[in-house]
Structure 1
């Protein structure tokens, strides 16, 4: 396909167009990393609290994922839909999300700045929200060719802000570049030109075709007197469910303890068990199957399930999370493979 054909629409390929935003995930992270040199004012700040205001569902899920992955934190953090009354000079207020016309978020940034709070925006890079932000608001750019939501931008933008409070800018940039490398390595495997036998994203999309989908992970059991461990699978599952549902695919998150119960009830309500079903009067009755994606596991013993794990078991929790979330995002771009 030539570039002219792509942009003119003469050879319009919906799958390639949908994958365009996904293909920028690595670049989104590198753009955040390049901007860390402007975050020096945060170094050593003693914030009373950090307030995150997401403007959309995926941004909220990304914020909650970041908090889960890097907890415990030295500051109280909240994810909320409105600016708390207590916000003042000792607080950091972050607006994150893709909506360019979120008037309430614009007013929240302006109000927080007037109260003396430090403000930051991880937004669309254009539009009223970006234009109305106070002059001293930390504002992250986006790659010039990117257009659309980016879970990786939300996650790494938040990480850049939080890390910059306690760590040197070079160290923060190096960590972000490591995450960008992980996203790019995953994207090489996720190219739409690769079929489901070698593309884990395509395999994921094909597995869930025409099905109701549950996203879950496995809970890590440990003694109560030990610090809580990071559960990458559950963190990714929550965020992946939001990404899928906002991009038109079936996807809801369930705690792992609830999944067997739901699977059992689904089997009980099958058409073969419906005593009132008459194939002559009701016609052919098609059932929507229930499929389970288990994130952060190499294998799953659940029926009708597919395990999704990182390719390298020695990676850090954050690297693994970025890889898996990139895979979840990419799966929403593919068409279901046609059978030969």
Structure 2
């Protein structure tokens, strides 16, 4: 996909190309965190917390909100005092019962998967937390059955009502309840720092910042016309890679392979001698004048997401081995002639580092869409799929 580079450096043109306000929605990510903290406090989550730590937590999220479950698993970590799992739809596992907490997340409050799981959880007498639109079917299930519903604040910007663009509105209530239950250390002060960091990133990636000094616009240009392979070098960056691949697909309409180290190192480097890794040899007898030039195929580009040294997360030093693997993957890519873009998070709490990377790739995906003449918010083919499956 060729990008209009002049449009990237034209703030007025970008605004005219973005009637749904996707850039504005991303710029308000910090505000989303703060408003979600207030909404969570007002929802009365003490009702869920009062009974103490549950036996297990099951998160129902899919589509644009799927990453919410991934974030909770990341923050809880392998040393979580109770198991945390994610379900995309029915059935609810047979072992889930009154001792467990079920969390259902849907921006519209109408997604069949979370809605069905919430209803089944209520029938089994589980503790229930729902997050989504007020006065929605999901809110009704929760309120009718003694659960707690955190209503996502209404927004005048259409994009902010999309789950992809309203990530932090959905994630913060879940993170906050998990902290109160002793499952994570993501306290309100941590979330305030996340909000501040998202504000800083939004200023850095603002539309009025020229492409040569704007990392998000630069990344959009580097990913133009290529097949991205997004690889995270650990737990935090693995979640960021999954989010980046989803945003590239749904927002910029660019399919992307993604993975996390160390598990996916072999799968990724195996593609370095495949058909997308190198440009096809030119045919010296082809005459472009008569259309004989071979059709070009998109070439691979490795987008390597690096974590700040997570010494506090993994004091045993195991992160050093993962870092060495990431260095080896990059060296192998460069030796094979595969182009590499590497970006790194700044130090901080895992949620702050994740926010760094999500902010960058979210903005880059939207800039790719706008400069490619694509509506970042609405895909006609997704609408067709929805019509054919409902």
After TM superposition, the score normalised by the length of structure 1 is: 0.80
Match of 1:151 in 2: 167
Match of 2:181 in 1: 165
Select 1:21's aligned residue among 22, 25, 31.
25
Instruction: Report the CA distance between 1:184 and its aligned residue.
Output: 1.2
Deviation digits for residues 106-144 of structure 1, max 9, x if unmatched?
Answer: 233233223221111122446433344334332223233
Work out whether 1:186 is the aligned partner of 2:201.
yes
Select 2:245's aligned residue among 241, 244, 255.
241
Instruction: Report the CA distance between 1:30 and its aligned residue.
Output: 1.0
1:236 to 1:105, Cα distance in 2 relative to 1, 3 A: closer
Quick check: 2:60–2:113 contact (8 Å CA) kept in 1? no
Quick check: 2:40–2:173 contact (8 Å CA) kept in 1? no
Instruction: Report the CA distance between 1:329 and its aligned residue.
Output: 1.4
1:207 to 1:88, Cα distance in 2 relative to 1, 3 A: same
Name the CA distance, whole Å, in 2 between partners of 1:86 and 1:289. 47
Quick check: 1:196–1:202 contact (8 Å CA) kept in 2? yes
Match of 1:113 in 2: 122
Select 1:89's aligned residue among 84, 87, 98.
98
Work out whether 1:52 is the aligned partner of 2:66.
no
1:287 to 1:48, Cα distance in 2 relative to 1, 3 A: same
Number of residue pairs matched by the alignment: 313
Deviation digits for residues 279-327 of structure 1, max 9, x if unmatched?
Answer: 76754422212111111258854331111112x3x32222111111121
Name the CA distance, whole Å, in 1 between partners of 2:372 and 2:211. 8
1:275 to 1:78, Cα distance in 2 relative to 1, 3 A: farther
Work out whether 1:324 is the aligned partner of 2:357.
yes
Match of 2:68 in 1: 62
1:285 to 1:17, Cα distance in 2 relative to 1, 3 A: same
Quick check: 1:218–1:256 contact (8 Å CA) kept in 2? no
Task: Give 3-state SS (helix, strand or coil) of 2:64's partner.
Answer: helix
Select 1:213's aligned residue among 219, 228, 231.
228
Quick check: 1:65–1:239 contact (8 Å CA) kept in 2? no
Select 2:256's aligned residue among 243, 248, 251.
251
1:16 to 1:195, Cα distance in 2 relative to 1, 3 A: farther
Work out whether 1:174 is the aligned partner of 2:189.
yes
Deviation digits for residues 188-216 of structure 1, max 9, x if unmatched?
Answer: 11111112222211111111012111110
- Which stretch shifts more, 35-44 or 183-192? 35-44
Deviation digits for residues 218-263 of structure 1, max 9, x if unmatched?
Answer: 25xxxxxxxxxxx322221122212222222332213233222212
Work out whether 1:139 is the aligned partner of 2:149.
yes
Q: Which 5+ residue runs of structure 2 have no aligned equivalent? A: 1-14, 309-326, 374-390
Quick check: 1:236–1:324 contact (8 Å CA) kept in 2? yes
Task: Give 3-state SS (helix, strand or coil) of 1:87's partner.
Answer: coil
Name the CA distance, whole Å, in 2 between partners of 1:104 and 1:268. 38
Match of 1:224 in 2: none
Name the CA distance, whole Å, in 2 between partners of 1:257 and 1:69. 26
Instruction: Report the CA distance between 1:14 and its aligned residue.
Output: 1.9
Deviation digits for residues 148-167 of structure 1, max 9, x if unmatched?
Answer: 22222333232112111128
Quick check: 2:75–2:184 contact (8 Å CA) kept in 1? no
Task: Give 3-state SS (helix, strand or coil) of 1:133's partner.
Answer: helix
Instruction: Report the CA distance between 1:104 and its aligned residue.
Output: 4.5
Work out whether 1:293 is the aligned partner of 2:300.
no
Task: Give 3-state SS (helix, strand or coil) of 2:93's partner.
Answer: coil
Work out whether 1:232 is the aligned partner of 2:209.
no
Quick check: 1:109–1:134 contact (8 Å CA) kept in 2? no
Instruction: Report the CA distance between 1:69 and its aligned residue.
Output: 3.6
Quick check: 2:227–2:298 contact (8 Å CA) kept in 1? yes
Select 1:39's aligned residue among 22, 37, 45.
45
Instruction: Report the CA distance between 1:29 and its aligned residue.
Output: 1.1
